[in-house]
Every structure is written in C-alpha cells, then in structure tokens.
Amino acid sequence: MQWKEVEKILRENWKYTKMLEYYDRTGRMPARKVPKTFTLQQSSFDMLKAEAQRTGKNMSRLLDEMIEKSIHL
C-alpha cells in the first residue's frame, strides 16, 4: 500500500483514527457512554427536543454530533 492510499484512508476515517489515538493516550475507549448531569437554558432544551423529534434521533446523540462538529474530536 502506498502512502497516498494510507493518507486517504485516514482522512476518510478520521473519527475512528481519533478514537484510537485517544485510547492510546488514555487507555479508555472514547465510545463508552458516561452519564453526567448538566443544565441547559430552557430555550436551548426546547430547540434540542424539537430537533430530536424532527430527526428521530435522541437528544444525547444530537448533543454528541454537535460537540464532534464544533470541537472536532
């Protein structure tokens, strides 16, 4: 396999590459779900709930996706 092919695979699968890098650094799997309690403004909660109903996704998955997009995990 040539280096350009390796780079292409890494670009296409960056999320999994980051997960493995995280595991190498910490020894913990990043895909494990961790229950936490936090607060949101009522308006943010209402928008999140409406988006969850519109898309059929649960609110936790929507938050995960938003965080991944904004922080680039």
What is the number of structural domains in the chain? 2
* pLDDT, position 35: 82
Where does the pLDDT of residue 46 fall: very low under 50, low under 70, confident under 90, or very high at 90 and above? very high
Do 40 and 73 sit in the same domain of this protein?
yes
Please answer whether residues 13 and 25 qualify as being in contact, where contact means their C-beta atoms are separated by less than 8 angstroms. no
pLDDT at 72: 67
Cut 0.75: pTM above it: no
28 and 41 inside one domain:
no
pLDDT at 24 over 90: no
Residues 6 and 25 in one domain: yes
Same domain, 40 and 71: yes
Strands of the chain, DSSP E? none
Where in the sequence is the domain holding 1, given as residue range(s)? 1-32
In terms of domains, do 24 and 46 share one?
no
Same domain, 16 and 49: no
